[in-house]
Structure 1
Amino acid sequence: MHQYAYLITCTDDDRDEEDRVMSSGTQTLAADQDPREFATARLEQNRVEHSYYTGPRRIAYWPHECGALLPRTAPANAEHLDG
Structure 2
Amino acid sequence: MKYAYLIFRTDDDSEEDRRVMSSGTQTLADGQAPADFAAARLAQNRIHHSYYTGPRRISYWPHEPGTPLPRTAPATAQHIDG
TM-score normalised per structure 2: 0.98
Unaligned runs of 5+ in 1: none
2:6: which partner in 1?
7
SS at match of 2:47: helix
2:36: which partner in 1?
37
1:80: which partner in 2?
79
Unaligned runs of 5+ in 2: none
Query: After TM superposition, which residue ranges in structure 1, 4 or more long, deviate above 4 angstroms?
Result: none
Give, in angstroms, the shift of residue 31 of structure 1. 3.4
2:66: which partner in 1?
67
Give, in angstroms, the shift of residue 33 of structure 1. 0.7
CA distance, structure 2, for counterparts of residue 60 and residue 51 of structure 1: 19
TM-score normalised per structure 1: 0.97
Identity %: 71
**Matched pairs, number:** 82
1:52: which partner in 2?
51
For the aligned residue pairs, the C-alpha RMSD in angstroms reads 0.6
CA distance, structure 2, for counterparts of residue 30 and residue 51 of structure 1: 27
1:20: which partner in 2?
19
